[in-house]
């Protein structure tokens, strides 16, 4: 089973959540004859998370299996709805950097390293949104749910 995680960082500014990273040009978009009309020209940058069972289960359990936040940034929601609607997506959730710091203090083996987010001065106003995707050809294995 090939599983990969995707992590995006958002910051709260004036009560609204926005992606931290700038959008990048969608690599598939340059081949206009290969993309469909609804494909976004620009997409958010992500960090990849390993799909190893102990790592992904630890992150999913620590987050409380929240699903995508109701106030997710518009760009990330549009990208998620476009790109991942046909894939086997699971483990959608999010955590504030403040929660990640607490998890690191409680478990030194927690995969999300608080140092990755040390440049943000207000850990309660920065969050990571993540999900995992099963790219296996045989998706009948539901051990990730």
The pLDDT value given to residue 141? 47
The pLDDT value given to residue 32? 57
Task: Give the integer Cα–Cα distance in Å for 59 and 91.
Answer: 9
Helix/strand/coil for 48: strand
In a domain, 74, yes or no: yes
Determine how many CB atoms are found less than 10 A away from the CB of residue 19: 19
In a domain, 59, yes or no: yes
The pLDDT value given to residue 85? 66
Place of tokens 């958002």: 10
This model's pTM is above 0.85 = no
Structural domain span for residue 114: 3-134
In a domain, 7, yes or no: yes
The pLDDT value given to residue 34? 56
In a domain, 143, yes or no: no
The pLDDT value given to residue 33? 58
Alpha-carbon dihedral sign for residues 43, 49, 53, 55: negative
Tokens representing residue 124 in the block: 């309660």
Which residue in 121, 131, 46, 50 sits closest to 93, CA to CA? 131
Mean pLDDT (10-residue bins), the chain, 145 residues: 89 91 71 61 80 91 94 90 79 94 90 87 91 74 48
In a domain, 141, yes or no: no
Which residue in 91, 89, 93, 74 sits closest to 23, CA to CA? 74
Helix/strand/coil for 33: coil
In a domain, 118, yes or no: yes
User: What is the number of structural domains in the chain?
Assistant: 1
In a domain, 97, yes or no: yes
As a dihedral over the C-alpha atoms of residue 8, residue 44, residue 33, residue 87, rounded to 10 degrees, the angle is: 20
The pLDDT value given to residue 78? 85
């Amino acid at each position: 089973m090939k599983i990969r995680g995707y992590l995006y960082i958002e910051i709260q500014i004036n009560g609204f959540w926005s992606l931290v990273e700038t959008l990048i040009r969608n690599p598939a978009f340059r081949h206009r004859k290969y993309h469909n009309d609804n494909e976004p020209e620009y997409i958010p940058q992500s960090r990849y998370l390993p799909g190893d069972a102990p790592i992904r289960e630890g992150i999913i359990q620590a987050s409380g299996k929240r699903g995508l936040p109701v106030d997710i940034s518009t760009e990330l929601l549009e990208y998620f709805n476009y790109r991942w609607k046909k894939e086997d997506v699971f483990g959608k959730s999010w955590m504030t950097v403040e929660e990640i710091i607490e998890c690191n203090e409680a478990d030194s083996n927690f995969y999300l390293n608080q140092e990755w987010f040390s440049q943000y001065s207000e850990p309660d106003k920065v969050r990571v949104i993540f999900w995992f995707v099963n790219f296996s050809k045989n998706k009948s294995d539901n051990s990730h749910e």
